[in-house]
Chain A
Amino acid sequence: NAGVTQTPKFRILKIGQSMTLQCTQDMNHNYMYWYRQDPGMGLKLIYYSVGAGITDKGEVPNGYNVSRSTTEDFPLRLELAAPSQTSVYFCASSYSGGGPEAFFGQGTRLTVV
């Protein structure tokens, strides 16, 4: 019963590098989300998806891209890493029949130096 799985758990990037944060869920949820968490700021929504092939911007999408080719996977892409993207990233999912109750992954701690 894996739930939402994120990889990697930790990563250090140099400025200008790119990377993909992986997220997969095995609950057959149609909704998926990416949040970033910064100290004292709570969680901010980066992107979300309501189903395969459909994505949309959240509050803080600049510098990120997403895709949703399958129900299970929702990778987050950072193209040109900047120090402002140092954060903890959480992937989450929910199903349309249960309201917006979100199930979260364990997070990815990213540091950009």
Chain B
Amino acid sequence: AQSVTQPDIHITVSEGASLELRCNYSYGATPYLFWYVQSPGQGLQLLLKYFSGDTLVQGIKGFEAEFKRSQSSFNLRKPSVHWSDAAEYFCAVGPPGDYKLSFGAGTTVTVRA
């Protein structure tokens, strides 16, 4: 069975500093990979996705993620965080041919002034 691990439950970062959120997955083949963001009281919004091709993918709000097959990882990065980036971030995977996503437990990001 596939699984998704987000090792960091909570990260605090200063405004203007860089941010990296980790995601590791366990699956036999390369799945579809996603990062979603959830602001307080809101639904989930797609930040970016990887299906195939270039392993560095760009998303909305200045986020990017890099797929590393050898490490089964799909880490999310942002060079300079803004206070509005405070939210919960979820990594999700979906095997090709299956339209069900599996989600990590989430990482809460706090941005301090």
Contact = CB atoms under 8 A, between A and B. Distances in A.
B100 A100 contact: yes
A100 B51 CA distance: 10
A82 interface: no
B43 A45 contact: no
A42 interface: yes
A74 interface: no
Given A40-B9, A42-B90, A43-B90, A102 B105 contact: no
Contacts, number: 61
Nearest to A103: B46
B43 A105 contact: yes
Interface residues of A, number: 26
Nearest to A38: B105
Contacts of B106: 40, 42
Size bracket of the B interface: 20 to 34
13 contacts: A31-B99, A33-B100, A35-B103, A40-B105, A42-B4, A42-B104, A90-B44, A101-B46, A102-B46, A102-B101, A103-B46, A104-B43, A107-B42
Contacts of A99: 32, 49, 51, 94, 96, 99
Interface string A32-58: 010100001111110010100000001
Interface string A88-113: 00101010100111111111000000
Contacts of A35: 103
Nearest to A102: B101
